[in-house]
């Protein structure tokens, strides 16, 4: 059986849009207008307001990003951890639009299935003078035809990634490969390449790196050594990429 294609758009940092075969628009970690003047996407926020679902991995500003503004300007629902839920409720977002989640929970949201999995990081931010903390999440997003994309958020490498590959068989992974100047990386390029092998990904896309750096090219080389069967795509911010249909 030939399966239809999925489309992905990279905004920058760890922000992506997935358009499913059924036309559902899912945005993950929508830091589109940038943070601290960095990694500003060429995509205007107005181009994203027709989104159906927003997934936020954790509360850090480079991941929470434009979540609140998108919720105010769209009819989207959001999946998030308790820290992000607290901020959204306090900001006036209706509770019925918020699906708070923890590791292991699976939700069918209009035909798109979102499985929340562990992430080795922390969810915290300063909000109204307080430190708000919660639980960082990774997400496995399964489209209507059963094809799955894995977004781990910010994370260190951990052995359950191999289990995710065995159990959930994600076709594509969006993996962090670096930090930013002055901020150490949670997962190195070599570790991200090993995670690619563990997950048995058909396609991998690097994220969470300084734009213009040599790190994506270094990741391409590392994956060729570690998981040579995997296709590595390095989209520019604003660029759409296709996960073409294949024979199941």
**pLDDT given at position 233:** 97
**pLDDT given at position 2:** 43
Q: Is residue 70 part of a domain?
A: yes
Tell the residue number behind the tokens 């919660």, with chain if given.
134
Give the CATH number of the domain where residue 77 resides. 3.60.15.10
**pLDDT given at position 110:** 92
Q: Is residue 239 part of a domain?
A: no
Q: Is residue 44 part of a domain?
A: yes
- Residue range of the domain that includes 182: 6-233
**pLDDT given at position 23:** 94
Q: Count Cβ atoms within 10 A of the Cβ of residue 130 and give its class: 0-12 exposed, 13-18 middle, 19 or more buried.
A: exposed
Give the count of domains, the chain.
1
**pLDDT given at position 36:** 73
Q: Is residue 240 part of a domain?
A: no
**pLDDT given at position 220:** 98
Residues paired with 140 in a beta bridge: 115, 150
Q: Is residue 247 part of a domain?
A: no
Q: Count Cβ atoms within 10 A of the Cβ of residue 161 and give its class: 0-12 exposed, 13-18 middle, 19 or more buried.
A: buried
pTM, rounded to two decimals: 0.94
**pLDDT given at position 237:** 94
Block means of pLDDT (10 residues each) for the chain, 248 residues, are 74 95 96 81 93 96 94 97 97 98 96 97 89 94 96 96 98 91 84 98 95 93 98 96 71
CB 137 within 8 A of CB 170: no
- 36: its two tokens: 């601290």
Residues paired with 243 in a beta bridge: 6
CB 210 within 8 A of CB 182: no
**pLDDT given at position 88:** 98
């Amino acid at each position: 059986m030939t399966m239809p294609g999925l489309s992905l758009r990279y905004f920058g940092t760890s922000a992506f849009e997935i358009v499913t075969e059924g036309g559902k628009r899912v945005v993950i970690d929508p830091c589109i207008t940038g943070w601290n003047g960095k990694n500003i996407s060429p995509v205007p926020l107005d181009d994203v307001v027709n989104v159906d679902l927003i997934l936020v991995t954790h509360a850090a500003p480079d991941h929470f990003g434009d979540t609140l503004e998108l919720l105010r300007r769209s009819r989207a629902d959001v999946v998030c951890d308790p820290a992000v839920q607290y901020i959204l409720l306090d900001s006036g977002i209706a509770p019925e639009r918020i699906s708070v989640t923890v590791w292991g929970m699976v939700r069918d949201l209009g035909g798109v299935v979102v499985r929340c999995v562990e992430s080795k990081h922390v969810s915290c931010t300063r909000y109204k003078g307080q430190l708000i903390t919660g639980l960082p999440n990774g997400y496995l997003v399964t489209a209507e035809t059963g094809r799955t994309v894995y977004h781990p958020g910010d994370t260190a490498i951990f052995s359950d990634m191999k289990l995710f590959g065995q159990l959930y068989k994600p076709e594509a992974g969006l993996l962090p490969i670096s930090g930013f100047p002055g901020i150490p990386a949670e997962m190195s390029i070599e570790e991200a390449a090993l995670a690619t092998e563990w997950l048995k990904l058909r396609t991998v896309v690097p994220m969470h790196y300084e734009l213009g750096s040599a790190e994506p090219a270094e990741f391409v080389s590392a994956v060729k050594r570690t998981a040579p069967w995997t296709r590595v795509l390095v989209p520019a911010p604003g660029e759409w990429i296709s996960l073409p249909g294949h024979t199941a």
